[in-house]
Structure 1
Amino acid sequence: MDSQVETTIKKIRDLRRQLHQGKVFRSLPNDLRQIITAVEPAAPTPVTLPDDDAAALAKIGEIEERLKAEKAMQVSDSELRYLIGHLASTSPAVRDKGVFFLLSDLFQADAFTEKQVAWLFTTLQRKDILFAHITEPQNDAVFLRSFAVMLLSGLVYADLNRYHLLTPRQFENLLVNLCAYITLEKDGRGYVAEKGWAHAYTHIGNLADELSQVPSLTRGDKLLLMATVVEGWQTVADSLVFGEDQRVSSYLVNLATKNQFYADALVMCLTAWQQRLRNLKPQEDLAFWTRWYNRSRLLEALLMRADLPKVVVDYLQKIIDAY
């Protein structure tokens, strides 16, 4: 694993501690920016992928048929390991419509044991899953990374509403890992031809939204995550045109409406973004214009929300000519 992953996690953890101690606040967006820009692209390495699509589809079908016949749905530990192992598949039939749909049904049915919930929570955050090949050029490991994030959002929802097994410390560690994931993830592809949805930023929005519901996470934690999402969005060089703007704006507004503190914090994050643009000159560069219009789409999606707090509306209207 790239040592930059561990370094980034440590930096995020240190920044979180400083935020809690009151040593940083308004500098938070720029502190996060420094962490993001410090990451160097790593050399590509081979991505190991499942190569048994037909067998996997048959196995998933067998599990589904058995579950339909059971009064109380349950899945064995070996079956669960098999399913998680096939999150890496580049076949949308296996990964998305197969593994993800099946695991989502199992969440809804309260089918997991306490041991399995703990195993899922730990396994989906393993460095070789959540951060697989993340500092390398665009690669097929994005499907594994992104769907791990999506499943973690389902797991957090299920725990808050049904299981009640995860501890405050576990939620804190997940928040740090998600912030590190966002600072490192540069693959913003939405739908990938013949491979289906990658959709990292949609899944980021889902998990961030669920973590904003966790009572044990402090305001500082939720501020850190909000700022990281806004900063991460700015660095993606892929066109975020597959609904990511709506999902992320929904998360930001949902949080901003919880308390005036978060509304003011969102303005702070947007102000830091705006200040970077003051002396920015247009470039004849695809990445520049992609990021520019990604920004426009996100700000427009925010303004489309009728429940956007007035302080944010007022700020966006003030800078509207700049985008």
Structure 2
Amino acid sequence: MESAFWDRVVAEGHKVPTDRSLADLTSELTAMLGDPDPRLRDGIAYEVLATWVSEGVYDDLLQGLGDGMAAGLMVGIGERDTDTVFRRSFSALILGECVSRDNERHVVPPDTILRWGDRAAGWLVRERDVRGYVPGKGWAHAVAHGADVLAALARSDAVGRLELTVLLDVIADRLLTQSDRLLHGEDDRLALATMQILRRDLVSLDVVERWLARLAEKARPDHERDGGAYAVAGNVQQFLRALHLQLALAPRPPARRADLLLALIDRLKQVNPDYLT
């Protein structure tokens, strides 16, 4: 379809067109999620799909839509600096919308949510294109969008203590994977996902302390590492500081915020001795 058709849909408040099948509309919007043109990808495809999901247009079809987005996470996986990142990243964003809708309405089986979670976790750890803003093509932001999916999953009733622990490990795995520095707010988004996990008050303090210790091991610059001393340490440091800020100041704190803060502060002191002695 010509973009003018979709411009009219947006201009008319995202009403579902009645002269075309929802399946055909969804297929075209899904393809547009991978378009390098940010107007088509962000301004039309994401905006329309997210609106229709939140308004219940897909409630009877949410499982199929989410499965399609989960499949989109694997398109071009392993590539760097190519346009396939847009399909993966924006599929993750819509998958998060599907999970959030189910959190409100419970319209898909719990095992579907867990399956989506497995696909999202596997993708986020394997993603190698961590560009934030791409000149001329807009936001890729795969790590931030992956964090948003994890945050939605952490709020799901289908996700219990074991799965929440896995989500923490996924966040650690992502941070401990050598990559380019994350410079576009990804640390804050990953910290927010962590806060959603901690707010469930299901993961024990011992588990969180071991998780923090694992991160702290790699939070000092490694001057022997190929790719730069801060290839891992810089991302971990940013994340720990963002998590400290949110844990200290964010509303709706976890029940054991004081204990969690003490554990986090201990690790921050450990990995920043030059500044905190």
User: TM-score if structure 1 supplies the norm length?
Assistant: 0.73
Q: Indicate the residue corresponding to 2:42 in structure 1.
A: 96
Pairs within 5 Å for 1:175-186: 175-186=117-128
> Are the counterparts in 2 of residues 223 and 262 from structure 1 also a CA contact under 8 Å?
no
- Structure 1 residue 104 displacement after superposition: 1.7
Q: Indicate the residue corresponding to 1:14 in structure 2.
A: none
Q: Indicate the residue corresponding to 2:93 in structure 1.
A: 150
Distance 1:281 1:150 in 2: 33
Q: Indicate the residue corresponding to 2:68 in structure 1.
A: 123
- Structure 1 residue 236 displacement after superposition: 4.5
- Structure 1 residue 216 displacement after superposition: 2.3
Q: Indicate the residue corresponding to 2:260 in structure 1.
A: 312
* Structure 2 gap segments, 5+ residues each: 273-277
Q: Percent identity?
A: 21
> Relative contact order (alpha carbons < 8 A, sep ≥ 6): 1 or 2 greater?
1
- Structure 1 residue 292 displacement after superposition: 1.8
Counterparts in 2 of 1:286 and 1:71: CA distance versus 1, 3 Å: closer
Distance 1:158 1:113 in 2: 8
* Structure 1 gap segments, 5+ residues each: 1-54
- Structure 1 residue 257 displacement after superposition: 3.1
> What is the number of equivalent residue pairs in this alignment?
263
- Structure 1 residue 195 displacement after superposition: 0.9
> Are the counterparts in 1 of residues 176 and 218 from structure 2 also a CA contact under 8 Å?
no
> Are the counterparts in 2 of residues 124 and 130 from structure 1 also a CA contact under 8 Å?
yes
- The residue identity in structure 2 corresponding to 1:220 is L
**1:193-236: per-residue Cα shift (whole Å, max 9, x none)?**
11111111211111111111111222111111111111112214
Q: Indicate the RMSD between aligned Cα atoms, in angstroms.
A: 2.6
Runs (4+) off by over 4 Å = 65-72, 284-287
Distance 1:197 1:292 in 2: 24
Corresponding residue SS for 2:217: helix
> Are the counterparts in 1 of residues 63 and 112 from structure 2 also a CA contact under 8 Å?
no
Q: Indicate the residue corresponding to 1:302 in structure 2.
A: 243
Q: Indicate the residue corresponding to 2:32 in structure 1.
A: 86
Q: Indicate the residue corresponding to 1:270 in structure 2.
A: 212
Pairs within 5 Å for 1:168-317: 168-259=110-201, 261-276=203-218, 281-283=222-224, 285-305=226-246, 306=248, 307=253, 309-317=257-265
Q: Indicate the residue corresponding to 1:39 in structure 2.
A: none
User: TM-score if structure 2 supplies the norm length?
Assistant: 0.85
Corresponding residue SS for 1:233: helix
Distance 2:70 2:128 in 1: 18
Distance 2:23 2:134 in 1: 31
Distance 1:81 1:70 in 2: 14
Q: Indicate the residue corresponding to 1:4 in structure 2.
A: none
